[in-house]
């Protein structure tokens, strides 16, 4: 079996678990008042070239929902892509933690929202009108939920529209490392320098084990968030075991190395697909996910050949490359696709 189901079906990087085990000595104050968590603050502040506050949390859902809850009042409207994980896959955690905030989908291409469409949406709600709530924040998913990556200019443009209206900007960085690996820029450029106020910093999908983090760039948000996290049951009493994982995750560029590895395999598959004219990508492959329109019979064939992946619909398959995916596996997938896909001429004729 070759598993392309998700990047969260995979193992953790051994370096991360080793760091967790290494932290198991002596006693340390609970709830983050330990030396590992202090080191985490320093390490991420260096990484992001500014003083940040880092809060380890158990899951990306917690990171997203608690970040959004921190960005505005409970009657706020948070704009995001229709395809955003916060909108489709987190059981309305944002609405819950935010005390009733409402997610409002904004259009755009390939899983991204566009600054223009955001501006239109905001123009539709006059300041002071009461009936629909008031805009409070924007959330961008980087890399996006369709496997594309916002350019820095796109993030800048969205943030500019948002801030002109007094809105805060959140980045769902569940696959931030994959985006960074694609963009080739610094973490600072991809986040606060582009206008991000708070980020869900993913690790789990990219070789992590049991924690992600919230990284706060707007310092006035941090103290309140700290209490909110405590109340949300997201502050481990033995926090050192989480902080140690996150330090190991970024140490010596491990995170980017893993992201480059998974991106690279995804790209190899995408390049291979160009030789298969009947294969249609839903969106460009810019990170580690591939959304491929496939006849149902082709999906059956792939499964019969031992490939695991998600059927997003009767004609849409998602393949995700993990940090430990291999080129051999990629080539095997392409071979199988080649066998099952109809020739291009037949595909055209079928339309």
Cα–Cα nearest to 154, from 184, 113, 122:
113
CB of residue 6 to its own copies, shortest distance in Å: 6
In terms of phi and psi (left: phi > 0; alpha: psi -120 to 50; beta: otherwise), the region of 125 is: beta
- Please select the residue that binds its own copies; options are 39, 185, 218, 232, rule is CB under 8 A: 232
CB of residue 284 to its own copies, shortest distance in Å: 25
Question: What is the x/- site pattern for its own copies, positions 160-189, by CB under 8 A?
Answer: ------------------------------
CB of residue 151 to its own copies, shortest distance in Å: 28
- Please select the residue that binds its own copies; options are 54, 101, 121, 149, rule is CB under 8 A: 101
CB of residue 318 to its own copies, shortest distance in Å: 14
CB of residue 187 to its own copies, shortest distance in Å: 23
Q: Closest CB to its own copies among 77 and 159?
A: 77
Per CB under 8 A, which of residues 106..165 are in contact with its own copies? Answer: 128, 130-134
Per CB under 8 A, which of residues 70..99 are in contact with its own copies? Answer: 73-75, 88-93, 95-97, 99
Report how many residues bind its own copies under the rule CB under 8 A: 76
332 lies in the site for its own copies, by CB under 8 A: no
3-state secondary structure the chain: CEECCCCCCCCCCHHHHHHHHHCCCCCCCCCCCCHHHHHHHHHHHHHCCCCCEEEEECCHHHHHHHHHHHCCCCCEEEEEECCCHHHHCCCCHHHHHCCCCEEEEECCCCCCCCHHHHHHHHHCCCCCCCCCCEEEEEEEECCCCCCCCCCHHHHHHHHHHHHHCCCEEEEEECCHHHHHHHHCCCHHHHCHHHCCCEEEECCHHHCCCCCEEEEECCHHHHHHHHHHHHHCCCCCCCCHHHHHHHHHHHHHHHHHHHHHHHHHHHHHHHHHHHCCCCCEECCCCCCCEEEEECCHHHHHHHHHCCEECEEEECCEEEEECCCCCCHHHHHHHHHHHHHHCCCHHHHHHHC
53 lies in the site for its own copies, by CB under 8 A: no
Per CB under 8 A, which of residues 235..254 are in contact with its own copies? Answer: 235-238, 241-242
Q: Closest CB to its own copies among 101 and 292?
A: 101
- Please select the residue that binds its own copies; options are 37, 40, 48, 60, rule is CB under 8 A: 60
- Please select the residue that binds its own copies; options are 15, 28, 41, 315, rule is CB under 8 A: 28
- Please select the residue that binds its own copies; options are 20, 119, 190, 250, rule is CB under 8 A: 20
CB of residue 175 to its own copies, shortest distance in Å: 13
262 lies in the site for its own copies, by CB under 8 A: no
Q: Closest CB to its own copies among 56 and 195?
A: 56
For residue 347, how far is the Cα from the chain centroid? 34
Question: What is the x/- site pattern for its own copies, positions 291-330, by CB under 8 A?
Answer: -----------------x-------------x--------
């Amino acid at each position: 079996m070759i598993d392309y189901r998700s990047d969260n079906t995979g193992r953790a990087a051994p370096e991360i678990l080793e760091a967790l085990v290494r932290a198991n000595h002596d006693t340390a104050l609970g709830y983050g008042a330990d030396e590992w968590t202090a080191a985490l603050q320093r390490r991420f502040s260096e990484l992001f070239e500014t003083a940040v506050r880092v809060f380890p949390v158990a899951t990306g859902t917690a990171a997203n929902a608690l970040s959004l809850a921190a960005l505005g009042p409970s009657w706020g409207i948070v704009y995001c892509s229709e395809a955003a994980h916060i909108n489709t896959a987190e059981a309305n955690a944002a609405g819950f933690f935010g005390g009733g905030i409402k997610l409002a989908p904004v259009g755009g291409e390939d899983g991204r929202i566009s600054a223009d469409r955001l501006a239109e949406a905001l123009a539709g709600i006059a300041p002071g009108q009461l009936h629909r709530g008031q805009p409070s924040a924007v959330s961008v998913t980087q890399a996006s939920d369709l496997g594309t990556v916002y350019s820095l200019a796109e993030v800048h443009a969205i943030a500019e529209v948002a801030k002109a209206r007094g809105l805060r900007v959140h980045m769902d960085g569940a696959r931030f490392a994959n985006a960074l690996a694609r963009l080739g820029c610094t973490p600072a450029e991809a986040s606060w320098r582009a206008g991000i106020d708070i980020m869900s910093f993913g690790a789990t999908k990219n070789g992590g084990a049991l924690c992600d983090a919230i990284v706060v760039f707007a310092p006035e948000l941090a103290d309140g968030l700290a209490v909110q996290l405590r109340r949300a049951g997201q502050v481990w009493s033995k926090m050192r075991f989480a902080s140690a994982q996150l330090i190991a995750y970024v140490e010596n560029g491990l995170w980017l190395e893993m992201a480059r590895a998974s991106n690279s395999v995804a790209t190899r598959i995408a390049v291979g697909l160009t030789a298969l004219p009947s294969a249609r990508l839903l969106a460009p492959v810019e990170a580690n996910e591939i959304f491929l329109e496939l006849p149902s019979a082709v999906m059956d064939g792939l499964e019969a050949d031992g490939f695991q992946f998600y059927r997003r619909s009767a004609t849409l398959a998602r393949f995700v490359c993990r940090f430990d995916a291999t080129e051999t596996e990629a080539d095997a997938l392409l071979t199988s696709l080649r066998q099952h896909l109809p020739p291009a001429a037949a595909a055209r004729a079928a339309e």
